[in-house]
Amino acid sequence: MKLFLDSANLKEIEEAVSWGAIDGVTTNPSLVAKEHRDFVPLLREICERVNGPVSMETTTRDAEGMAKEGRLFATVHPHIVVKCPLTKEGLKATRQLSSEGIRVNVTLCFSPSQALLAAKAGASFVSPFVGRLDDVSQDGMALIRDMKTIYANYRFATQILVASVRHPIHVVEAAKIGADIATMPFSVLEALIKHPLTDIGLDRFLRDWEKLPAAIKQFKTVERTLA
């Protein structure tokens, strides 16, 4: 399973890349707006830091406008994937951009019927928002299971990019279902690493090591033993 970072913050992206943890980045207008930067150079800098797809979302409602924006985004860097919303106009733009060889991530997917249509329109990725479904008392993970079945039934190449991930359990459940990708905020990626028993265990190991006399801890001793 691939893990993407849902962020437009360069510091977060660089840190996650240094852990060898991420395979791509997703952004949306809200995340890009938080950075208060000219978005094209920002987008290019993100693409240069990540060896994988970087999603940038269109900001118009009509298909023509989305396709125009999408083509411009695609000139910024080969890693760019254009995000279009799951509306009639978004599907039109998806069909058009895909036919031109531009990869599209259809976003704001909340139902299996929407997911089916996005795949038919030629989407490379579809982003079901599990957290926002959970927020309104609908089972976000049920949508991932349905999408997995539908895409497998008809051998769609469209990848399931689980989005609106709020906690590590979302990631683990998505992995168990076999989703292709989960994208998550930096805080969730950090939470995937952390376990209190790891911290307690490491403290104990290092405390025990500290108790050894300095003379027998030296690397010189290790080297002598190996020689």
| Chain contacts with ligand G3P (rule: CB under 6 A) | 6, 26, 28, 129, 131-132, 163-164, 183
Query: Which residue number, 9 or 183, has a Cβ lying nearer to ligand G3P?
Result: 183
Instruction: Tokens 């952004």: give the residue.
Output: 27
Q: Which of 204, 215, 150, 202 is nearest to 177 (CA)?
A: 150
Query: Which residue number, 55 or 98, has a Cβ lying nearer to ligand G3P?
Result: 55
For 58-84, the DSSP string reads ---SSHHHHHHHHHHHHHH-TTEEEEE
Task: Kindly give, in sequence order, each residue whose CB lies less than 8 Å from that of residue 7, ignoring residues fewer than 6 positions away.
Answer: 13, 25, 27, 31, 185, 186
Q: Work out how close the CB of 83 gets to ligand G3P at its nearest, in angstroms, rounded to a whole number.
A: 8
Q: Work out how close the CB of 146 gets to ligand G3P at its nearest, in angstroms, rounded to a whole number.
A: 19
Element (DSSP H or E) covering residue 123:
none
Q: Work out how close the CB of 106 gets to ligand G3P at its nearest, in angstroms, rounded to a whole number.
A: 12
Q: Is 211 a catalytic residue?
A: no
Element (DSSP H or E) covering residue 38:
none
Query: Which residue number, 9 or 28, has a Cβ lying nearer to ligand G3P?
Result: 28
Query: Which residue number, 64 or 135, has a Cβ lying nearer to ligand G3P?
Result: 135
Question: Rounded to an integer, what distance in angstroms lies between the CA atom of residue 25 and that of residue 151?
Answer: 23
3-state secondary structure of 104: strand
- From 34, 83, 211, 220, the catalytic residue: 83
Q: Work out how close the CB of 164 gets to ligand G3P at its nearest, in angstroms, rounded to a whole number.
A: 3
Residue 143, CA atoms < 13 Å, CB-side half-sphere: 28
Chain position whose Cβ is nearest to ligand G3P: 164
- 45, amino acid identity: E
Active site (catalytic) residues: 83
